Structure 1
Amino acid sequence: MGRTATGPKPAFAPGTALPELAWEACPGKGIDYPQLYLDHYGRMPDSWLVGHIVATRTGYAGDPSVRACGASGGVTTAVLLHLLQSGRIDAAIVARQGVPAPLEASPVIASTAEEILDAAQSVYIPVAMLDILSRLEPGKRYAITLVPEQAAALRRLQHSGHPQAQQIDYVLGPYTGTALYPAAIDSFVRAHGVAKDDPVTSLEWRAGEWPGYLEIKTQSGKVLRSKKVYYNFLIPFFVTRASLQSMDFANEFCDLSVGDAWSPAFEAQGGGHSVVVTRSAKMEALVEEMIAAGALVLEREDDLKATEMHGHMIDFKKRGGFIRNQWRRKIGLAAPDYGMAPATIPPSRKMAELVISTLFVIGSTAPARFVLRQIPESVIGPVFNKLRLSWKKASKPTKRKGLADFRMIVDEE
């Protein structure tokens, strides 16, 4: 994979002959989700909103230091540590910001607890996690953290007999809404008056206490900080195409899916809470073991109630993703095909999507990004957050309409 301003992209030598499996498992082309549900779970999902579910819980890591270093409740980090320390895996494959350079992120093989802790926290730029499969040592077993498109690709590789993919025993992943192109950070630091000859020396996407803040340090000693709810203003200008085309928010092909638990009660408590979904019997057994040992502090949650915390983003993926892909194909642009379509989409939802997509198209242009750099973050951050909350409130009836009985129609072709 080659590094570009728009994230990692495949780089093939002239005359390269790719195996058919590379095409079947390509998330950019689109993976047949209904067939993968059958191959992996043996049936269609329990919920068309969040996928196959064994149990849904909310909570956090039992170790306060692990909870503090995580992006939300530290659950993913705690599980990876337990897998390693109990001998179930030889190493964990995780995304780490700052490798090989401060503004870059790469998959790393963490074989010690310290290395797993060093990779805690979120990464909001694309990372080619599956590029590391060729580096796995024969005979060793691994856990891996993946975003939804990568998890689906890995499962397709596993069910097709790919030897390195089959060395992955546990797949964990975050609920994934939007990611940013790497150019977002360059725009952010330039807008704060950082000169090009003052390089960034460190970057944390969610530093400090939950929900955290973006923290960037430069060689001259400058420290830039922006609350998570403020630096979201970068999204309309630098959102990745994969974010807009994906129809999977809850990471449906992981053994364990973890997301921020956005609710007034949890936010008032502070410290970070997570929604935790187990999707396999072995992961459910592991989570129960960790709860009994005090390594996880989790309580059962109603499956449907838990989706209410993320209803806006679930709709953004399930219906919005389909609409955006459909529109791209109609104008002759490439878009992934997931082998399924929402049974119904209200006309009002398509109108709302027209507004959303128009903003993304305008925001991605050079003039719009130039204007963005002229506005102080102290102004655009709070203003964007208020606009975001107002839009979310105004569009809630439209975007939530029909989600309670949402279902997909499987493409029979």
Structure 2
Amino acid sequence: MAMKSATPIDALTHGVIQAGLCTGCGACIALDESPHSLMQDTHLGPIPAWMADSRLPLWSTQACPGLGVNYPDLYQKHYGHYPNQWLLGEIQSVWTGHASDPAIRRIGASGGVLTQVLVYLLETGKVDAVILAQQGRPTPEKARAVIAQTPEAILAGAQSIYIPVSMLDLLKTLEPQKTYAITCLPEQSAALRVMQQEGFAPAMQVQYVVGLYTGTALYPAAISCFLRSRGIREDDSIQSLKWRAGEWPGYLEIKTESGRIVRSKKVYYNFLIPFYITQTSLQSMDFVNEFADLSVGDAWSPVFEAQGVGHSIIVARTQPMASIIAEMEREGWLSLEEEDPLKASDMHGHMLDFKKRGGYLRNQWRRKMGRPAPDYGYRPAGIPLSRVLVEIVISSLFVVGRTAWARWVVARIPESIIGPVFNTLRLGWKKLSRPTKRKGLGDFHVDIST
């Protein structure tokens, strides 16, 4: 008797969700013919909940970042060719800069450029609405995708969010005939482009994809760990949470029902990363959001950091978006300086290596252990042995850090101690590993899978 072939839902259930590889993007829920399926909150972030009448198109597995989107194939289909360079992706223009409006620059996490661009697209009628993530929905410690139809609604979502937020499930709620811009993480942008290539009608309504440089995200349980490290009881509920409050680079600020206000510098609460980093952060090979029309991240450099105010690195990947950014500069919406792409990549060399080479190695090791891992359709050419050894150290740290006993211990060390100690160790490690992690990045090449 012939075996019944697996459905897309079977493939995603066994190969992604049960394997712990779901990115929580929401693409499968958007594609589901059932009107009742949804993304549900878990300790691992949003996970799809399908219903008895759920059904997905056969091609839906190609859009799942947990299985891996084939980047070379998508480059050919979306851009018409392979990227200018595989390190930063397709590039039309690169700038550093910030929003000209001081208020928007101040509330934005890294110069307010992304927020300013979204407001511009809406106010000039280039889109009818904007899909973005907003902290505090439905409760202060959670975040949801929302549809903003006013500049004020866009400003309400200006802050960074470091926990997983599903964005693409909202596509099934879009109003026909309306056009949208959307903010996406790298995996979400790639999934959306596959959906557009397949002609999925709601995805075709998205005219502009603006994306963030995305290094590491945290599981929601990291918030509870942080509060325990500050001596806050579990029954003292969170009333508000901002990941990057105040002046750039910002600080984590949490207010509780009892009136407690706790703040931690961004470089200090990074101590949570080894213990609560998401699996997506470890498996993804895309840091710079290669399939967004516009990619934006913090412009880390000694010159900008000394100024104490936010600056962004801004990459336009399509000619229409490059024209929009140039238009915004002429009209006084943005303050920009053209940047050399290689110089711009050096601002994030550590994280580019973490994704491009580290992500590949981590995926390969999962497969060798008989565990599923996403396949992006290419591999870095010529990873030196020294870089493999560095990755063994990094991955070992994550393996130990994510154990139950390690999380128990770290939650009981005061943040005032572990924050500065972790930051000192982090800076020391970056300095020690820099020669190895930066070696070969300036001449980064790939081998494409066949």
**Same structural fold, with TM-score higher than 0.5 when normalized by the shorter chain:** yes
- Aligned residue in 2 for 1:241: 279
- Aligned residue in 1 for 2:385: 347
- Aligned residue in 2 for 1:391: 429
Q: 1:344 to 1:299 in 2, by over 3 A?
A: same
Tell me whether 1:382 sits opposite 2:382 in the alignment. no
Task: Judge conservation of contact 2:353–2:438 (CA < 8 Å) in 1.
Answer: yes
- Aligned residue in 2 for 1:297: 335
- Aligned residue in 1 for 2:128: 90
Match of 2:178 among 118, 124, 140: 140
- Aligned residue in 2 for 1:251: 289
- Aligned residue in 2 for 1:311: 349
- Aligned residue in 2 for 1:284: 322
Task: Judge conservation of contact 1:21–1:157 (CA < 8 Å) in 2.
Answer: no
Q: CA deviation at 1:19?
A: 1.3
Q: CA deviation at 1:281?
A: 1.0
- Aligned residue in 2 for 1:167: 205
Q: CA deviation at 1:169?
A: 0.3
Deviations 1:82-101 (A, max 9, x none): 00000111110000011111
- Aligned residue in 2 for 1:272: 310
Tell me whether 1:153 sits opposite 2:202 in the alignment. no
Q: CA deviation at 1:14?
A: 4.1
* 1:10-409 matches, cutoff 5 A: 10-14=48-52, 16-409=54-447
Deviations 1:292-341 (A, max 9, x none): 01100001000101000000000000000000000001101111000000
- Aligned residue in 1 for 2:33: none
Structure 1 CA distance, aligned partners of 2:261 and 2:370?
45
Q: 1:240 to 1:62 in 2, by over 3 A?
A: same
Structure 2 CA distance, aligned partners of 1:342 and 1:143?
32
Point out where structure 1 has 5 or more consecutive residues left out of the alignment.
Answer: none
Q: CA deviation at 1:11?
A: 1.4
- Aligned residue in 1 for 2:47: 9
Q: CA deviation at 1:121?
A: 1.0
Amino acid across the alignment from 1:19: P
Amino acid across the alignment from 2:146: V
Deviations 1:114-138 (A, max 9, x none): 0000000100000000010011000
Corresponding residue SS for 1:49: coil
Structure 2 CA distance, aligned partners of 1:265 and 1:190?
36
Q: CA deviation at 1:220?
A: 0.8
Percent identical pairs in the alignment equals 61
Task: Judge conservation of contact 2:88–2:288 (CA < 8 Å) in 1.
Answer: yes
Q: CA deviation at 1:15?
A: 6.5
Task: Judge conservation of contact 1:175–1:250 (CA < 8 Å) in 2.
Answer: yes
Structure 1 CA distance, aligned partners of 2:131 and 2:325?
19
Amino acid across the alignment from 2:251: Y
- Aligned residue in 1 for 2:22: none
Amino acid across the alignment from 2:277: V
Task: Judge conservation of contact 2:228–2:412 (CA < 8 Å) in 1.
Answer: no
Amino acid across the alignment from 1:135: T
Structure 2 CA distance, aligned partners of 1:342 and 1:185?
35
Structure 2 CA distance, aligned partners of 1:180 and 1:409?
31
Corresponding residue SS for 2:42: coil
Structure 2 CA distance, aligned partners of 1:304 and 1:191?
40
Q: CA deviation at 1:178?
A: 0.2
Task: Judge conservation of contact 2:180–2:207 (CA < 8 Å) in 1.
Answer: yes
Deviations 1:178-237 (A, max 9, x none): 000000001111221211221001100000000000000001110010000000000000
Deviations 1:63-98 (A, max 9, x none): 000100100100000000000000111110000011
Amino acid across the alignment from 2:291: F
Structure 2 CA distance, aligned partners of 1:215 and 1:20?
44
Amino acid across the alignment from 2:144: S
Q: CA deviation at 1:10?
A: 1.3
Structure 2 CA distance, aligned partners of 1:232 and 1:190?
15
Task: Judge conservation of contact 1:244–1:324 (CA < 8 Å) in 2.
Answer: yes
Q: Which portions of structure 1, spanning 4 or more consecutive aligned residues, are displaced by more than 6 angstroms?
A: none
Task: Judge conservation of contact 1:57–1:275 (CA < 8 Å) in 2.
Answer: yes
Structure 1 CA distance, aligned partners of 2:302 and 2:70?
37
Amino acid across the alignment from 1:373: A
Amino acid across the alignment from 1:320: G
CA RMSD of aligned residues (A): 0.8
Structure 1 CA distance, aligned partners of 2:193 and 2:232?
43
TM (norm. structure 1) is: 0.99
Task: Judge conservation of contact 1:61–1:74 (CA < 8 Å) in 2.
Answer: yes
Amino acid across the alignment from 2:215: G
Amino acid across the alignment from 2:282: L
Q: CA deviation at 1:21?
A: 2.6
Task: Judge conservation of contact 1:148–1:251 (CA < 8 Å) in 2.
Answer: yes
Structure 1 CA distance, aligned partners of 2:263 and 2:58?
46
Corresponding residue SS for 2:313: strand
Amino acid across the alignment from 2:305: E
Q: CA deviation at 1:52?
A: 0.2
Structure 2 CA distance, aligned partners of 1:238 and 1:26?
23
Q: CA deviation at 1:24?
A: 1.1
Structure 2 CA distance, aligned partners of 1:365 and 1:224?
26
